[in-house]
Amino acid sequence: MKILVLGGSGFLGSHIVDCFLRNRHEVAVFDLYPERFRRSPNGIQFFTGDFGNVGALDELIAGGFDAVIHCVSTTTPKSSNESPEFDIQSNVIGTLHLLDVCVRHKVGKLVFLSSGGTVYGDIGKLDLVDESHPVRPMCSYGVSKLSIEHYLDVYRQLRGLNYVSLRLSNPYGERQSPHRALGALTVFLHRTLKRQTVEVWGDGAVTRDFIYVGDVANAVYLATISPISGVFNVGTGTGLSLRDILSQISKVVGIEPSVSWLASRSFDVPRIVLDSTKLMDATNWKCGTSLHEGIAITAEWLRKTDF
Angle of the 94-104 helix axis to the 140-159 helix axis, nearest 10: 20
The one catalytic residue among 33, 120, 141, 212: 141
| CA–CA separation, 171 and 214 (whole Å) | 9
Taking the CA atoms of 147, 201, 274 and 167 in sequence, report the sign of the dihedral they define.
positive
Q: Which amino acid is at 238?
A: T
Q: Taking the C-alpha atoms of 239, 242, 245 and 249 in order, what is their torsion angle to the nearest 10 degrees? A: 170
| CA–CA separation, 227 and 200 (whole Å) | 42
Find the distance separating the first CA and the last CA of the chain, reported in whole Å: 36
141 is catalytic: yes
Backbone phi and psi for residue 56, each to the nearest 5 degrees, phi listed first: -65, -40
Strands (E), the chain: 2-6, 26-31, 44-48, 67-70, 109-115, 163-168, 170-172, 197-201, 207-208, 210-212, 230-234, 240-241, 258-262
| CA–CA separation, 121 and 155 (whole Å) | 25
Beta carbons of 67 and 224 less than 8 angstroms apart: yes
Report the catalytic residues: 141
